Amino acid sequence: MSFAATAAGTSKSERSRMGTLFREFGLGLLLFGLSYNLVFSAMPQLSSARIALLVIAFLYTRLAIDAWSDFVQAHTITVVVVLGALCYSFVLSVTSGDWGQTSRLFHFVAYSLLGSAIWVVIEQGSSSAFAKRFAAVATVQSVFIFVSLFSAAYRSWLSAVLVRGGNIPLESALRPAGLTNSGGAFLSVVQALGVFAALQAATTSSGRERNGWHLAAFLCLCSALVSGRTGLMMALAFILIFALTGQGARASLFWAILIGVGLAFVLGPTIIGLLRERIPEFDFLSRWATEIFLRGHETGSWSDLKHMPVPSLSSDTFAGTGRITAAGGNASGNDSGYVQTYFALGLPMTLLFYAALFATGAALTAKSQSPATVGVLFLAMALIEVKEPFIFKYTYPFFFLTSAALSVSPVAAPWLRKKPGFTLPRQASSRTPPRPFGPYEST
């Protein structure tokens, strides 16, 4: 072989490697934008999730159309119910002047349903690829959370760049925001999903790579600890279910847990001392984070939720008031997602919406190759909605629907057109592959 031919082959291989790296970085960036939905001060109407969907629609126009078509065919009843709820909410918003619930439903369709349908095809049926990508994104966010915890300069910069999205100031070291618009329960829940994804990635890895994913799970767990107790409890539940059903990674996970506990006992006092020196609010933060283990259901958050009013059933609440917001807080007076939706959409439409969504979740769980882990993920989504409207913060249903769909059967995307930097590999078989949601029964 001539020197010129060898050089040409090397150059082609290098270009292919660079193209793969650029594609993986680009998809990771899009997934980060979808998962954390950053809202920038300079352009508040163009959030990172909207940018991500626009980029995907531009690069993969045919893919997006076909993926949504397949999703609609597989889950016709669910889609009809959700779109019906959206239209009904639109009518209520016209009369009430409050567009909050309509906005929630519109973005649920865009981010959770359409976003999941497209992402299933982008991953080409690989549940491990999605798990690794999401775990990597959540681990990067963990680093930002730790930086936000320690650096006042970073928090000051963040408050100038991003729009504050919750009750916790971005400048506060308590429940740090990382690279998001708000610290708190939602961020902790997404980090808990990072724990789930990292543990799932570890089950399909071996050796040092498996250890790396266990380390990623530990970092996401620590970030959930300082972000919110909701995510912390979820993360611990995920660790337990993977420890019980983790197949080849079970022994490795047990060793990782033992090593982590051992290091905590040995290095804990030193680390706590350093944290207390660097973070003035550390004592309050530690008491708050561990309150759930010391007081159980008597924690302040649980007590507050129990004492929140549930609007009584009347002609207004039966039909739906169309209102989410009110002066000084939410219109229903309750933080629960179920209660807020019931107050805004009315009892019949709320029951239809959640029944359709949960029927889809149950069907995907039953058909999953890992029903125990997917089932825990599904159950957690239903339970935490009691606390806050996490389903209408879009990341959880997006993650669940994508993970559950990918765990059912391999998916290919023959209609995908090559685009610079985002080209998917060609299929080895010349036969027409199954449709993305084809194996699923309609729900």
Structure tokens at 31: 């997934």
Distance CA 384, CA 376 (A): 12
First to last CA, the chain: 59
Burial class (CB in 10 A: 0-12, 13-18, 19+), 24: middle
Distance CA 107, CA 105 (A): 5
Output the pLDDT for position 386: 93
Structure tokens at 415: 């209609």
Distance CA 364, CA 71 (A): 13
Which runs of E-coded beta strand occur in 296-356?
Answer: 325-326, 329-330
Distance CA 190, CA 36 (A): 8
| E strand or H helix at 104 | helix 100-107
Output the pLDDT for position 442: 41
201: closest CA among 248, 261, 143, 145? 248
192: closest CA among 160, 219, 171? 219
Structure tokens at 138: 């959540």
The DSSP code sequence of 252-287 is HHHHHHHHHHHHHHHHHHHHHHHHHHH-TTHHHHHH
Distance CA 426, CA 439 (A): 22
The DSSP code sequence of 217-263 is HHHHHHHHHHH-HHHHHHHHHHHHHHHHH-GGGHHHHHHHHHHHHHH
The DSSP code sequence of 357-379 is HHHHHHHHHHH-SSHHHHHHHHH
Output the pLDDT for position 18: 79
pLDDT (tens place) for every residue of the chain, 443 residues total: 555 555 555 666 777 777 778 888 999 999 999 999 999 999 988 899 999 999 988 888 888 899 999 999 999 999 999 999 999 999 999 999 999 999 999 999 999 999 999 999 888 767 889 999 999 999 999 999 999 988 889 999 999 999 988 778 888 777 788 999 988 889 999 999 999 999 999 988 888 898 899 999 999 998 998 888 889 899 999 998 888 886 556 667 776 777 777 766 666 666 666 666 666 666 666 666 666 655 555 565 666 666 788 999 999 999 999 999 876 678 898 999 999 999 999 999 999 999 999 999 999 999 988 899 999 999 999 999 999 999 999 999 999 999 999 988 554 333 333 333 333 433 333 333 334 444 333 44
